[in-house]
Structure 1
C-alpha cells in the first residue's frame, strides 16, 4: 500500500477522510457517554458501543483514501491494524482498556523503529518525510532523535492519562491533545528546519 505512486487528491477531502472518523468518534462518545446498552445478556457502555462503530468507519475511510490517493503511510496502516485489533478486543471482551492502550503501542512502536535506525546511523524518518522537508543528513538525525523522544513522551502521557483520569478526559486527550501536541512539536522545530535545510542543485 505504500509503494504505489500517490495520486492527486484535494487537501480538503484528504483531511476529511483522515480526521472525519476521529471527530465522529468524539461526537458519538459525547452523545452516548452516559448511556448503557444491553445486547443479548451483556451490558455495554456508550464508549464500547461507539468504539464498535468507529472500527468499520475507520476501515472504510482508510480504504477510500487508499483508493483515491493510491498510497497509505506506515502510520496509517499501523493505526488501522491497531484499531481493528485493540478496538476489537475492547468490544469482544467488553473492556475499554484495550482501546485506550492503542496510542501507547503505536507511539512506542514508532519510537523504537526510529531508535533502531539511529543505532545504524540512519534516519528512517527521512524515508517517509524527505519529500516534505529536504534536510541535510545531520538535520535528519537530529530530527529523528527528537521525534523518537517525542513518541516515547506521548506513550507515557497516554498511559498516565488513561490509567489515572476519566474516560472523558482521555477521549479529549486522544482527539485534541495529541493533535495539538503534534502541531506544537512541528512548530518547535522551525530553527532546525532553517539551520539544516538542504541546498538544491543550484546551491540555493
Structure 2
C-alpha cells in the first residue's frame, strides 16, 4: 500500500480529510498519513483506541515512535497519559492497550538499526521545556538523521522549515491564507523553505527535521 510514499514530495492532511479505517484488531482504528508497504509497513498514522481495546503482544522490527495525544495508552503494565513520548527501538516487543480509550500519533519502521535504547519522556513536566525567544522547546530525540521536539509558539511566531514533518497538537498554523488547525499533519521535503506562522492563539507542534532524505533511500520493509 502506498500513501504519500514519495518522501521527496510535499504531503498535507487536515482534519477534514481524515478517513479512519479498521485495524486488524477490533476496537482500534487508524488514520493513515503516509504508508509504504503492507501490514508490515513504514508508516505514519493517527491510531484511535476504543475503551478496553488491546493488541496481542507483537514485535516491531523497525522500531516504533509514539506520542500520546489524548486518553491513556498502556503497554506491559505501564500507563502513559497525554503528552507522553515513547521510542521503542528496532526489535522491541510490547502488548499495547487502553482501558479508557486513547488517541496516539505513531511512526513505524523509521529508526536506524543502531538505536537500541527505549525512551520515555513526559512532556507535561515543565522541567522538559526551555524558553527560546517567542518559542518554548521540549527536545525529545536527536541523532545523525533526525531531530525531534515539541515546540510551543506564541501568536504570530514563525517557523522557516525544509526537510521537516510536523503535527499540530494545539492552536493552529498559517501558511499564507491556508489554515492548519489541531491535528493537521504536514511533510515538507528538502530543497524548499516553507514559512509557517502561529495563529492568534499560538500553536503547539510536534516537529521532526532532517529525516526525509534518509527515509527516501530506505528499502521497503520486509
- TM score, norm. by length of structure 1: 0.27
Larger Rg: 1
Answer 1 or 2: which has greater helix percent.
1
Answer 1 or 2: which has greater strand percent.
2
